[in-house]
Amino acid sequence: MQDHLSQTFSALADPTRRAMLARLSLGEANVSDLAEPFLGEMSLPAVTKHLQVLEKAGLITKTRKAQWRSCKINGDGLKEAADWMEHYRVFWEESFDRLDTYLKTVTAPPKKGDENV
Amino acid sequence: MQDHLSQTFSALADPTRRAMLARLSLGEANVSDLAEPFLGEMSLPAVTKHLQVLEKAGLITKTRKAQWRSCKINGDGLKEAADWMEHYRVFWEESFDRLDTYLKTVTAPPKKGDENV
């Protein structure tokens, strides 16, 4: 049994599942609309499996509306992973600062009167 | 061949690898010091394999210092995943706002003169 954070990262480790979340970031969608763009490259059971992985990881929720099953993003499901990531922010900001310092040493200052630089 | 973002999330989807990153967030460490806390529960080749996954995903870098191989976090390797996550921030902030609104409706206002509430 995977811990929750591992389950979240594992669910995100797939381009199809991230594409599904990207679609849902634009708004709720029913399962068949969500599946449609992927059916050229994979079967409906494969699409359904991806949705199940997202649902099991708590990244989406499915609700039944009349005869439709509608999916939407569950923000809480991403928060733990984002909080984990936040702890490491200092490391990529540090490397950006180093790049910035380096660029300042290699770029010449703009010439006087040249306002387009 | 996994895309880079999938490789990153996949590398993060394991508690041992996240524990190794947590250790490295305190500072560089040589491979044997980094491996040591895990050797009770797994073999050295298993630990080495985890380090290779982190290195291949670009999350750590190894350098050779005299006879030691030293590991450190590579912040750049996490940035793409953090940027991806950032796009979804609105969803967990939204659900936090909903909770906040709910709590305001169910908690009574503090009584006059009671400064400890």
* Domains in chain B, number: 1
Residue-range definition of the domain harbouring residue A68: 1-107
Contact at CB, A5 and B25, closer than 8 angstroms: no
Query: What element of type H or E holds A76?
Result: helix A75-86
What ipTM was assigned to the predicted interfaces of this complex?
0.81
Q: How far apart are CA B34 and CA B20, in angstroms?
A: 7
How many cross-chain Cβ pairs, A to B, lie less than 8 Å apart? 90
What's the predicted TM-score (pTM) here? Answer: 0.81
Q: Supply the CATH number for residue A19's domain.
A: 1.10.10.10
The reply to whether B11 falls in a domain is: yes
Residue B112 counted as domain residue = no
In this prediction, the residues of chain B whose per-residue pLDDT falls under 70 are 95-100, 102-103, 108-117
Candidates A26, A27, A25, A51; CA nearest to A38 is A51
Q: What is the pLDDT of residues A16-71, one digit of tens each?
A: 999 999 999 999 999 999 999 999 999 999 999 999 999 999 999 998 877 778 99
For residue A11, pLDDT over 80 is answered with yes
pLDDT digit string, tens, across residues A90-102: 888 876 566 667 6
Q: Specify if B52 maps to a domain.
A: yes
Q: State phi, psi for B68 to the nearest 5 degrees.
A: -100, 145
Chain A residues with CB under 8 Å of B5 CB are 15, 18
In a domain, B117, yes or no: no
Q: Which residues of B touch A87 (CB under 8 A)?
A: 25
